Homo-oligomer: A and B are copies of this chain.
Amino acid sequence: MATDSELKIGYQGAPGAFSHRAVKIFAEDLNRLEDVTPVSCKTFDEVFARILSGECSHGVIPLENSSVGSIVANYDLLWKNKVEMVGEIYLPIHHNLIGFSDTDISKLVEVYSHPVALDQCRTFLKELTGAKAVSYWDTSAAAFYVQETGSRTIGAIASEFAAVETGLSILRRNIEDHSGNRTRFGVITLVNGHLPAPPAAPFKMSCVVELAHQPGALANLLRNLAILGVNLTKIESRPIPETPWHYRFFLDIEIPFEEVTDAVTSAIGRLSEAHKILGRYKGWQEPAQ
């Protein structure tokens, strides 16, 4: 089991992945950078499984990206598994072409990366007329693959941290189609394994509610939350596959005063058919420049 002095934090990807970077930001924020061991996982399911088994104390998972929207697989895993959300991190996403320093870009025959990253760098890839875009399970793992082969005719698309981890060079920086690309990550841990400690108000709370398909069900819930002075920062509906005409809503809300917390959770319970409070945590603050 992970003890309090060693924080093993699971993330999906190889060292240098964007999620790995988010793990480090979380560790810095806790002032525990030295105690933290990031644990590379192949899949999101593996991140959850390692937390449930006690092998990892925490996990860091992507929840939404400004270009591609919500990562619905992780919302579904949050609903299904007994974990708690204890933090959020926003990370700017910049993609880079990575390879050996003496690689000639015009001679590349293959560029490896995660399919979503390939999709976000279409304009750049179109310019590389001689190169095929090859799908790989992770951006940073693609950079490691380039490094292992020693080849000067292949490159990878990954973060600048992947360049550091692999010792490779950035051949072209910020090759994403759209600037301003950001990903929001959630920090998760076992229910009742709350570290950091629950924050004082104001704080954010994430929850999932299931509502009947009838006029006013959602309006009624939101009106009760509004009366309590609660602000909504995200709402998303998802059809529930097993029960047609019922909807699951993912809500992020800002709780302004400690005193309303109980009234908020009780309203959520009373006005929904099923619900799950995913956790309470400090809303993300951009670090001072």
Contacts and interface: CB of A to CB of B under 8 A. Distances in A.
A285 interface: no
Interface string A67-106: 1111111000000000000000000000000000000000
5 contacts: A68-B68, A115-B118, A213-B231, A216-B227, A235-B249
A201 interface: no
Interface string A188-216: 00000000000000000000000001111
Nearest to A117: B115
Nearest to A230: B215
A53 to B, nearest CB: 22
Given A69-B72, A70-B69, A241-B180, A219 B216 contact: no
Contacts of A215: 225-226, 229-231
A116 interface: yes
A153 interface: no
A265 interface: no
Given A215-B226, A235-B235, A236-B236, 20 more contacts: A66-B241, A68-B72, A69-B236, A70-B70, A115-B119, A180-B241, A213-B231, A215-B230, A216-B223, A216-B226, A216-B227, A218-B222, A218-B232, A219-B222, A220-B223, A220-B226, A233-B237, A234-B237, A235-B236, A235-B237
Interface of A: 66-73, 110, 115-116, 118-119, 122, 125, 132-137, 180, 213-216, 218-220, 222-223, 225-227, 229-237, 239, 241, 247, 249
A233 B217 CA distance: 12
A225 B219 CA distance: 9
Contacts of A241: 66, 180
Contacts of A233: 237, 247
A219 to B, nearest CB: 4
A115 B114 CA distance: 8
| Residue from A66, A216, A233, A247 whose CB has the most chain B CB atoms within 10 Å | A216
A235 B209 CA distance: 14
4 tightest A-B CB contacts, nearest first: A216-B226, A115-B115, A219-B222, A133-B135
Contact of A135 (B70, B115, B213, B229): B115
A68 B68 CA distance: 9
Contacts of A225: 215, 219
Contacts of A232: 218, 237
Of A69, A72, A213, A225, most buried by chain B (CB within 10 Å of CB) is: A69
A136 B126 CA distance: 11
A69 B230 CA distance: 26
Contacts of A115: 115-116, 118-119, 133, 135
Contacts of A239: 66
